[in-house]
């Protein structure tokens, strides 16, 4: 049977700052991110299966991405925990702000790599992550492809 790609789109609001950056993005700011998640697999061919004809139920894919990415990053501020931004993060956390400390510079490029690893761990064995597209602005995005990695 044919391999089919399934894509589900998500959106979330996240703030970040890029420590050491030489432009405006060194300041705390936010984006309305759009994330497209594409998986690939073979549709279920057992006509007695409740998900007959599906590669993966869109709801199952939504659950994975929502739990590991959207619910975590939405309305959070992300900082690289290996920089002095950790002091600002502590101050914000003390004031009851949602802060995420990550092991990387929170650029779209690094976030999409992080998201790919999180999603791959949760997918069923017969489904592979094909690609991710993380759109930071209307005209700027980072893409991750399994074929490249």
Active site includes 25? yes
* The one catalytic residue among 16, 85, 130, 136: 136
For the chain, the straight-line distance linking the first and the last C-alpha, in angstroms and rounded, comes to 25
Residues 35/133, Cβ–Cβ less than 8 Å: yes
Residues 43/21, Cβ–Cβ less than 8 Å: no
* The one catalytic residue among 29, 49, 75, 97: 75
Q: Which two tokens stand for residue 94?
A: 């003390």
Q: How far apart are CA 42 and CA 93, in angstroms?
A: 45
Residues 78/14, Cβ–Cβ less than 8 Å: yes
Active site includes 13? no
* The one catalytic residue among 13, 25, 97, 117: 25
Phi-psi region of 58 (alpha: psi -120 to 50; beta: other; left: phi over 0): alpha
Active site includes 29? no
Q: How far apart are CA 59 and CA 137, in angstroms?
A: 26
Catalytic residues: 25, 75, 136
């Amino acid at each position: 049977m044919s391999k089919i790609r399934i894509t589900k789109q998500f959106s979330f609001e996240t703030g970040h700052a890029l420590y050491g950056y030489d432009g405006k993005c060194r300041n705390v700011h936010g984006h309305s991110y759009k994330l497209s998640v594409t998986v690939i697999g073979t549709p279920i061919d057992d006509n007695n299966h409740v998900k007959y004809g599906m590669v993966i139920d869109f709801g199952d894919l939504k659950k994975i991405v929502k739990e590991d990415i959207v619910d975590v990053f939405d309305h959070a501020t992300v900082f690289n925990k290996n920089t002095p931004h950790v002091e600002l993060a502590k101050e914000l956390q003390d004031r009851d702000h949602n802060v995420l400390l990550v092991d990387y510079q929170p650029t779209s490029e690094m976030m999409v790599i992080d998201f790919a690893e999180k999603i791959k761990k949760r997918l069923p064995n017969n489904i592979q992550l094909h690609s991710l597209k993380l759109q930071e602005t209307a005209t700027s995005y980072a893409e991750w492809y399994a074929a490249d990695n």
